[in-house]
Amino acid sequence: MSRSLSIFGATGSVGEQTLDLVRRNRADWNVVALTANSNVAALADAAREFAAEVAVVADERHLDDLRDALAGSGIEAAAGRSALCEAAARPVDMTVAAIVGCAGLGPVMAAIEQGGTIALANKEALVSAGEVMTAAVDRHGATLLPVDSEHNAIFQCLQGGELADVRSITLTASGGPLRLVEDLSAVTPEQAIAHPNWDMGAKISVDSATMFNKGLELIEAHHLFPVGLDRIRIVVHPQSVIHSMVEYRDGSTLAQLGPSDMRVPIASCLAWPARMDTPMAPLDLPAIGEMSFFAPDEARFPATRLAREAAEAGGAAPAVLNAANEIAVAAFLDRKIPFSRIALLVEDVLNQGDLPSPPQTLEDVLRVDEDARALAMRMLEPA
């Protein structure tokens, strides 16, 4: 019996890998909605291949191109932020939320309000709107399944266990491509996105290089697995074989191991609570040989410290941190600021005056996000 599925961010890295798994298990899935930011050609091709009901492009300027690409297919074409939310409001068995950044917050909330199952690959949404989102999940009876490899690993290690029995949670970090680079001020975008283990989009790759990715994941873990911030740790594990660990009060530590391929955690979510086949080869532990672990260097990579401080402050602080980071990363990728200024800009925005009141609604979160982005943009302007 097939299940209905919508994928938001279908042309990105996670979206494409989700479609690869769906393609390998075509009879199991009925695709309802597919979305992209502006990649009309790839979106239209996917919509036709999987006979989607609707395809949505976030950038309204591309609506006519999408309509032309889907002409004669019977697939509905739409565009814009409201269209994304309307597509997310269509009832489905599972929604894969893979839009990068706070832009994915609206569709995620719309999917939650349907009370379905959301495979969440958009960590920024939970970082910016943690309390608002988790309250909505409880109110509408929705289910959140974490797609991020680290959170999915924790989720798997907690199966059959109780949060009350957890002594600590450890998020592993590869350390990114710059862990051993001495002069971070001279790093180019090409160097920052050249991740040694994972194939990811540019923004996430830069976040990995700065360690903001791990900082955001710490905040996300705090909402998904509320054991207390003091019990959530980060360790650098360059081989990226162990994706995270859970230590229980009896001294047992469970670790989830797997290849550095997002199809493994995506498959875990798609098949949950069962399992499904993937094309991944089994781990060859003798070939791996050794695994190493290091404490994060927060003097050179202060992102994890800033994220923990934002999580401890609570309220609007995580949303401000996320918004400032998105602006800083975009500026770095556009070669407007050096790599070393990304974390400095985020810290400056966080320290600029009083933080806004804690957001209570989605509109509050979006307002905090907009104001923080505007402040970060002003700080980028020459004095």
Beta carbons of 45 and 36 less than 8 angstroms apart: no
Please report, for residues 86, 176, 344, the alpha-carbon distance to residue 263 in angstroms, rounded to integers and kept in the order given. 27, 20, 34
CATH H superfamily, domain 3-146: NAD(P)-binding Rossmann-like Domain (3.40.50.720)
Question: Is 0.85 surpassed by the pTM of this model?
Answer: yes
pLDDT, tens only, 112-138 = 999 999 999 988 889 999 999 999 999
Per-residue model confidence (pLDDT) at position 103: 83
Distance CA(320)–CA(325), nearest Å, equals 8
User: Is there a binding annotation on residue 14?
Assistant: yes
Tally Cβ neighbours within 10 Å of residue 380. 15
Distance CA(282)–CA(248), nearest Å, equals 27
Label residue 38 left, alpha or beta by phi (over 0 means left) and psi (-120 to 50 means alpha). Answer: alpha
User: Is there a binding annotation on residue 74?
Assistant: no
Tally Cβ neighbours within 10 Å of residue 305. 16
Contact partners, residue 22, CB within 8 Å, separation at least 6? 5, 28, 29, 31, 50, 270
Per-residue model confidence (pLDDT) at position 383: 55
User: Is there a binding annotation on residue 124?
Assistant: yes
Beta carbons of 318 and 310 less than 8 angstroms apart: yes
User: Is there a binding annotation on residue 309?
Assistant: no
Q: How many residues does the structure list for the chain?
A: 383
User: Is there a binding annotation on residue 195?
Assistant: yes
The residue ranges of the chain whose pLDDT is under 70 are: 198-199, 383
User: Is there a binding annotation on residue 13?
Assistant: yes
Topology of domain 314-383 in CATH is: Rna Polymerase Sigma Factor; Chain: A (1.10.1740)
User: Is there a binding annotation on residue 11?
Assistant: yes
User: Is there a binding annotation on residue 222?
Assistant: no
User: Is there a binding annotation on residue 113?
Assistant: no
User: Is there a binding annotation on residue 148?
Assistant: yes
Of 75, 96, 69, 67, nearest in space to 5 by CA: 96
Per-residue model confidence (pLDDT) at position 382: 74
